Amino acid sequence: GKTTTSTMVAHILTHSGFGCNAFLGGIAVNYNSNFWNSENNVCVVEADEYDRSFLRLSPDVAIISSMDADHLDIYGTAESMEQAFIDFSARVKPGGLLISRYGLKRHNELKATRHITYDLSNEEADVHAANITMTDGSYQFDVVNKNADGNTWHLKDVVLNMGGRHNIENSLAAITVAHSLKIDDEKIKDAVTAFRGVKRRFEYIIKNKELVMVDDYAHHPEELRALITGAKDLFRNRKCTVIFQPHLFSRTKDFADGFAEVLDMADEVILLPIYPARELPMEGVSSELILKKMKNTNSQILDKHELVEWIKSNQPSLLITAGAGDIDTMVQPLKQALDN
């Protein structure tokens, strides 16, 4: 949730009139950009754990949304990656604020003089959401902050116009940042309601009574879990078809079991061949590795040409495209295939 959360923070600061500079990892739909500037000397940066580049930052406020193992081609082990996040937490400036998702592994090792935790619904966290309701792909909820300067702070009837309960959780972190900067409650709510999301982060390509198509950058098992869970939660009466393009041979090898488990949550799965990105092929590693581990027999591997024809013939009512490779180039052809 790094891109969505950091974009939410930058949007709330901008929309409220507080002002900020922003350097983000995705295109904010509200601004059609991943960069903007302001006269206010405040900067929102999406920190990148890849190649340990985030250890060059010294933030006043930091959010750690996840420490799940990834980039094992760089870190070698999950423990080494976790240590990098612990080292990052120590780089928060003295007197600064660390905001972390409740229940992170090695949570007690995170280092910060001020530390607030958040969670979607766990009341043990300092910040959680309450009274969540759903209407037409949007959410309404209350924010309960038990760590607001020693008092409990409530923000009632927040409306978030994007799918996925994980995005409610992401908004809790962003709202906590805004509250720590003493931005007015109503301005925070107005900004969240006006937030239109990030390209390829639970992005609605089609949304009507007959068809829903969602495109997402998810390329890690836990990102896929949040994506599929969110879609099935919002559209419970629709058959969920997921098209997934694995990204990197090394990630596919490392997380084949996790990908298989999560993709089994869908009603129907189509795998594309692995997008290699920066890597050369690895012997014995292909999309077949995931398929063989899946229990869902309603799954198959197709190439891009076969995929378009399959969509034309089958017309799924809830279609999800996911992956960090070039699957985004298929979004418009698939949309046209559904429209036809």
Nearest-Å Rg of the Cα atoms of the chain is: 20
Q: What is the pLDDT of residue 333?
A: 96
What mean pLDDT comes out for the span 190-197?
96
As a dihedral over the C-alpha atoms of residue 26, residue 28, residue 32, residue 33, rounded to 10 degrees, the angle is -50
Q: What is the pLDDT of residues 109-118, one digit of tens each?
A: 998 889 999 9
Cα–Cα distance for residue pair 275/309, rounded to 1 Å? 21
Q: What is the pLDDT of residue 228?
A: 96
Concatenate the DSSP letters of all residues of 125-182 into one string: SSEEEEEEEEETTEEEEEEEEEEETTEEEEEEEEEE-SS-HHHHHHHHHHHHHHHHTT
What's the number of CA atoms in the CB half-sphere (13 Å) around residue 173? 29
Question: For residue 19, which of 27, 9, 28 has the smallest C-alpha distance?
Answer: 9
> What is residue 274's DSSP assignment?
P
- Are the beta carbons of 269 and 239 closer than 8 angstroms? no
**155 or 233, higher pLDDT:** 155
Q: What is the pLDDT of residue 72?
A: 67
Confidence of residue 174 (pLDDT cuts 50, 70, 90): very high
Place of tokens 């992170």: 104
Confidence of residue 49 (pLDDT cuts 50, 70, 90): confident
Q: What is the pLDDT of residues 309-318, one digit of tens each?
A: 999 999 999 9
Q: pTM here?
A: 0.78
Q: What is the pLDDT of residues 225-265, one digit of tens each?
A: 989 998 998 888 899 999 999 999 999 999 999 999 999 99
